[in-house]
Amino acid sequence: KELGLKTIGFVRGEEWQNKITDSSTLKFCQSQGMQLIAISRTNFRFKEQAKEVQEIQNKFPDSIFLPEGCTNSLAVKGCQEILSKDDQDFDVICVCVGTGGTLAGLIEGSSENQQLLGFMSLKDSSLETKIAQLTNKKNWQLIDEYTFGGYAKITPKLIVFINYFYQQYGIPLDPIYTGKMLFGIFDQIIINALAPPITSPSFITCNLLSNSFCDLDVIFIASSLFVISIHSKSLFAIFL
């Protein structure tokens, strides 16, 4: 909206066309001038090959398609800039992972002495191959032990941890990304998977809730790089 870009968002589920205001995410997108088109779940799986998307791309041949999660080569290039020279002293960089774009960019921007751990928000056996296609570096690892049943799935154990973390540090975590990652990090420390010689860990999140800095031997870097996705697995968009 600020840049004057026209946008069209494709929403998973035709039923959403008449109840946009029921979703805070969709309501926000609409308030920012985005045209929303609800399509069937079957067609949504085809992504840019969906009939409705093809029609828009044919109508606007100069449009740019942003996939679900916004992972593409330009996204990787943008996320590469998250890390600066001031971050070279960190041994381990942990990040929440959805479609892998943020992790791939961080890998590309990392130095040889740094290790990157990607905490997956859902199990996806194809994700490692997809990330490997976006970077030639080998200093990274995906961790899928803390998905708590799948994307946006929660358990009482996870909620207890999120509440405990907020009570201790005053930082709200969401149950989809940051809550699972921090739970995983704490557990990895307990089982000595994150043990010395690690001296300077850094935790990066693109989640909109965690936009504060804290001093817990960790650093949160707030980065709303892809506001268009709003971390929604039910929305992809086209910039016109």
Residue 164's pLDDT is 92
Per residue in 67-118, pLDDT (tens digit) is: 888 888 988 999 999 888 888 888 888 899 999 999 999 999 999 888 999 9
Burial 4-13 (b: 16+ CB within 10 A, else e): eeebbbbbbe
What secondary structure letter does DSSP report for 116? E
For the chain, give the number of residues. 240
Mean pLDDT score, 151-171: 92
Q: How far apart are CA 68 and CA 198, in angstroms?
A: 34
Please determine, for residue 240, whether its predicted confidence score (pLDDT) is greater than 60: no
Residue 196's pLDDT is 54
Q: Which residue is listed with tokens 């995410």?
A: 25
Mean pLDDT, the chain, rounded, equals: 80
Residue 77's pLDDT is 93
Per residue in 19-77, pLDDT (tens digit) is: 999 999 899 999 999 999 999 999 888 888 888 888 988 988 888 888 888 888 988 99
Non-local CB neighbours of 210 within 8 Å, separated by 6+ positions: 171, 172, 173, 174, 178, 220, 222
Q: How far apart are CA 54 and CA 144, in angstroms?
A: 34
Residue 64's pLDDT is 86
Per residue in 167-207, pLDDT (tens digit) is: 988 888 899 999 999 999 889 888 877 655 555 555 555 44
